[in-house]
Structures are given as structure tokens and as C-alpha cells.
Amino acid sequence: MSEENLGQPQPSTPASELSKPHANNTSDMQFNQPVSTVSRLKKLEERVEALEERVEDLSEEQESKLAG
């Protein structure tokens, strides 16, 4: 391989070399994806809790209006 071809895909790349980047990408995805999912779930959980509190407040407010 000449220097001008560095960084460009070569049709004669051995299978062992082809599998290396794929294996790295797969492990990166497996490592990063759960973190992203966990942070999304935490944000959703916070939003749900805030909405539950809001519903409780509105329910109490409505009950007091109906009782008063």
C-alpha cells in the first residue's frame, strides 16, 4: 500500500482488519447506549414526578373549591 492510499478503504483488506473497527464500534455502541437510555429515563422520571405533584396540587385545589 502506498502512502497516498492511506486512510482509504482497500479492496484487499484482510478480513481480520475489517472486523476490528466493527468490533470496536459495536462495543462503543453497547457502552454508550445504556448511558444515554439511563439519562433519558432519569429525565422522564423527574418529569413524571413533577407532573404527579402538579396533579395532586390541582386535585386538592379543585376539592377545596368544591367544598368551599
- Tens of pLDDT, residues 14-61: 665 655 555 555 555 556 666 688 899 999 999 999 999 999 999 999
Task: Give residue 7's Cα distance to chain centre.
Answer: 30
Is 19 part of any domain? no
Is 56 part of any domain? yes
Is 53 part of any domain? yes
- Per the structure, how many domains does the chain have? 1
Is 37 part of any domain? yes
Q: What is the pTM of this model?
A: 0.46
Is 61 part of any domain? yes
Is 16 part of any domain? no
Residues near 10 by beta carbon (within 8 Å), at least 6 away in sequence: 1
Q: Which domain holds residue 63?
A: 25-68
φ/ψ of 28, rounded to 5, equals -65, -45
Is 14 part of any domain? no
Distances (CA, A) of 20 to 8, 11, 13, 51: 16, 16, 11, 47
Identify the residue with better confidence: 67 or 7. Answer: 67
